[in-house]
Amino acid sequence: MSAQTDAFPQSRPAPLSENSGKDNDADHLRIVPARRTSQWAAAVVVLLLLALALNSVIRNDAFQWDVVGDYFTTASVLRGLGLTLWLTALVMALGFALGTLLAVLRLSANRVLQAVSWGYVWLFRSTPILVQLLFWFNIGALYPEILGVRTVNLLGPVTVAVIGLTLHEAAYAAEVVRGGILSVERGQIEAAQSLGLGVWRRFRRIVLPQAMRSIVPPAGNMLIGTLKGTSIVSIIAVQDLLYSVQLVYHRTYQVIPLLLVATLWYVVVTSLLSVGQHYIERHYARGTAGAR
């Protein structure tokens, strides 16, 4: 019996270490979040400053909010707003159509086409939009006749605005589309090629839907920027939103309230566009981390 006991010694409980009691106590400790007193103090200061600024804007009689309310929905202002929205939509559609073509040329294997696309983007991104509009507005002074057609007074202010803004936006749209196409994995394109899909079908069904995740955010920013940028066409007497309110305050000398009318309309429209951009981004981000 003793031999068996020696052969199979009974297991004894391990002695408690000195830190075991401390470990058990640590398991019951309550985790206290870090205090961010300075951040809350800064937030209170910022809110206080915003409240003071808002109060000064609302209660300052110089803003003439009653005049703003009178002119906010007048016929002339709404006509100017309609022209601004129409010009923005047309310029974005034409600009992205031309920009997509330029992006495809830039990504082609032909060196000449690459050089032409690069040169276009370089030229129109290097020239201020105001200078471009003035050049197109005075095209008759540069080329009095093109292909037997006299160019003097041939292009009206609205046509000049469409041409100038479209050519300008196309240069930026080309880079946006090119970046979106480059974001698509090369394996996706090779898989589509192995299936025998044509170039146009491969671009439309495989490349473009995946590239939209990278195209939509900067395109939305371009849309909002174009909406506000159309105000520059007032320099060539296009009766957009800004030019419409300018006509009014040149007659009534109520500059501040009329500028507030234009500002509020820009804020309303850009806010609506931002909401639409959010949902479009979420639509194309389905199945990715961006969908959150």
Q: Name the residue ranges covered by the structural domains of the chain.
A: 82-238
- The encoded tokens of residue 292 equal 């959150």
Confidence (pLDDT) at 292: 52
- Using one digit for the tens of pLDDT, what is the confidence trace for 73-93? 999 999 999 999 999 999 999
Spatial separation of the C-alpha atoms in residues 180 and 222, rounded to whole Å: 15
- The encoded tokens of residue 180 equal 């979106």
pLDDT reading at 16 higher than 70: no
Confidence (pLDDT) at 82: 95
For the chain, the first-to-last Cα distance in angstroms comes to 71
pLDDT reading at 118 higher than 60: yes
- Using one digit for the tens of pLDDT, what is the confidence trace for 208-236? 778 888 888 899 999 999 999 899 999 88
Range list of β-strands (E), 174-237: none
For 46, 52, 263, 264, 280, the CA distances from 59, given in Å and listed in that order, are 20, 11, 18, 17, 39
pLDDT reading at 4 higher than 70: no
pTM, two decimal places: 0.77
Spatial separation of the C-alpha atoms in residues 113 and 118, rounded to whole Å: 9
- Using one digit for the tens of pLDDT, what is the confidence trace for 141-195? 887 777 777 777 778 889 899 999 999 999 999 999 999 888 888 777 777 777 7
- The neighbouring-strand residues paired with 149 are 146
Q: Is 242 exposed, middle or buried (0-12, 13-18, 19+ CB in 10 A)?
A: buried
Nearest to 233 by CA among 118, 139, 136, 101: 136
Q: Is 286 helix (H, G, I), strand (E, B) or coil?
A: coil
Residue 12: pLDDT band (50, 70, 90) is: low
> Which positions ≥6 away from 53 have C-beta within 8 Å?
none
Q: Which of 15-19, 97-101, 115-119 has the lowest mean pLDDT?
A: 15-19
Spatial separation of the C-alpha atoms in residues 135 and 143, rounded to whole Å: 11
Confidence (pLDDT) at 2: 47
Q: What CATH number was assigned to the domain covering residues 82-238?
A: 1.10.3720.10
